[in-house]
Amino acid sequence: MDKIEIKPSELWISVTSKIKTMVTEQAYATWFEPIKAVAIENHSLTLEVPSKFYYEWIDSHYGTILLEKLKEITGENLKIRYSVVVGEPIIKSRQSSSIVEKQNLLNASNEYYDSGSKLNKRYTFENFVEGANNQLAKAASISVAEALGETSFNPLLIYGGVGLGKTHLIQAVGNQVIKNKSITKVHYTTSEKFTLDFISAIQKNNSSKFSEKYRNADLLLVDDIQFLQKKEQTQEQFFHTFNDLYQRGKQIILTTDRHPSELNGLKDRLLSRFQSGLIVDIQAPSLETRIAILQKKAEDDGLSIPYEITELIATNVRGNIREMEGALIKLFAYSSLSHSDINMTLAKKALHETLGRSQTKKLTIDDIIYSVSDIVEISQKKIIGRGRKMEVVSARQIAMYLSREIVGASLENIGLHFGGRDHSTVIHACKSIKLKMKQKPDFKEYINSIRSKVEI
Ligand code: ADP
Ligand code: MG
């Protein structure tokens, strides 16, 4: 293709009209509307984006799909380049694109991905925040990286829920190993990719190339092995690859979303191989760790963000770290688009939808118990339990009071959710909180701050 007979803007309209049907309205408005297609040259389409975050976000979340759609429409393998607009609000640049300053023409996927190992270079140990939830997994990963093939942690299997850092951690091992000794061959793959490769090798009658690709690794990282479930032939193939590497003292690291004993549909001999090294888990991070992660992310991107904003995000976006990161990026995008500093008002505005999700689904008594437990750092079990320690009683009373105030639940119902207590206990709790709020302004402020965190 020398020249595509289509204007960048027209091509972009065709692409986005397809994307529109695939993403939520909110995602579309946030991520696609502000983008402008400015050029088609040298087999690539140049997209102008408002900030580096946009580029990263778009590239990592929608990069593949954009390429696919471009191919569908043009029939050509166009690449995408991103141009970051600096110093000019995007609105202005729409009017007069010629005065737009451009910086860092970024080639999609080139900056962060190492094409050989398929590692994302941003996933390092340095920016993996340690907390009680991931301490062991991190320590084990570091040992493996520092003494490749010499520890008994082979395979190292890391399991944990979605978005809790498994991929980050195993890729950090890969990056560290390469950093220590660049000749080491690291190969990162997902079990899905492994399956696809295997199927395509069979189709092309090319299984020796397939084996070679995986078996010449010194370190093989296989992410999300739960997807091997029920794929017997692939499992068989994986078993051979595994054995081959293992016998030659090569290191294997695996991740899965649950403990291997709960992986149904995996052959026993594969399961026992998986369990023959070290198994470590990653749990959901505590509030403190979540805040630390957000601070670290911001810092790594050269941005400062007020503590209370990280706290706002961390207390409200609890699902997983990826979601939390999404909220942060959205906030950055919003601030860079509106050219305003990041402050509480802006944060609330920008994150309205993300933070509002829990509100629209109307809070329940259990939500309140969950939030209070998170904020005061006393377990839910203790809050609804029988313990009489002062701070536990206080947390319990606060949660009861807020259940009454926010949810408007009946005294009986509240009692029921707090370990089957009598309604008079709930009355007593509410009364004492109210009284204390009246007597002590500090306490009132404290309760209100908890309330606002629970409610956002
Ligand atoms: P998983 O593979 O478990 O689904 P990921 O490794 O993809 O999760 O992590 C999701 C996001 O959260 C990534 O951007 C990752 O960098 C980030 N993340 C997770 N845990 C941490 C941590 N402890 N410190 C810093 N970032 C983290
Ligand atoms: Mg992952």
Q: How far is the CA of 160 from the centre of ligand 1 (A)?
A: 11
Which tens digit of pLDDT belongs to each residue from 117-152?
778 888 999 999 999 999 999 999 999 999 998 999
Binding-site residues, ligand 1, Cβ < 6 A: 127-129, 134, 160, 162-168, 293, 296, 321-322, 325
pLDDT, residue 359, reads 40
User: Where would I find the H helices in 75-231?
Assistant: 90-95, 135-146, 166-180, 191-203, 207-215
The pair of three-digit structure tokens given for residue 365, joined into one six-digit string: 């008594």
CA 409 to chain centre: 34
Q: Please classify residue 122 by burial: count the beta carbons closer than 10 Å to its beta carbon, then call 0-12 exposed, 13-18 middle and 19+ buried.
A: middle
pLDDT at 4: 56
- Which band of pLDDT confidence, cut at 50, 70 and 90, is reported for residue 358? very low
pLDDT at 26: 66
What is the atom index within ligand 1 of the atom nearest the CA of 160? 3
Average confidence (pLDDT) over 383-387? 94
Closest CA to 38 of 105, 88, 89, 122: 105
The per-residue pLDDT for range 317-335, each reduced to its tens digit, is: 876 888 888 888 888 878 8
pLDDT tens digit sequence for 199-246? 888 888 888 888 888 999 999 999 999 999 889 999 999 999 999 999
Q: In the numeric block, which tokens belong to residue 121?
A: 């270079």
Q: How far is the CA of 91 from the centre of ligand 1 (A)?
A: 34
Task: Note the pLDDT tens digit of each residue in 342-354.
Answer: 888 888 888 887 7
Q: How far is the centre of ligand 2, averaged over its atoms, from the C-alpha of 165 (Å)?
A: 7
pLDDT of 235 reads 94
Closest atom of ligand 1 relative to the 321 alpha carbon = 12
- Give, for ligand 1, the residue of 61, 322, 323, 324 to mutate: max count of ligand atoms closer than 8 Å to Cβ: 322
The model's pLDDT over 415-444, given as tens digits with 9 standing for 90+, comes to 999 999 999 999 999 999 999 999 998 898
Cα–ligand 1 centroid distance for 330 (angstroms) = 17
pLDDT tier at 115, thresholds 50, 70, 90? low
Please name the residue whose Cα sits nearest to atom 23 of ligand 1.
Answer: 129
- Please tell me the residue having the least CA distance from ligand 1 atom 5: 165
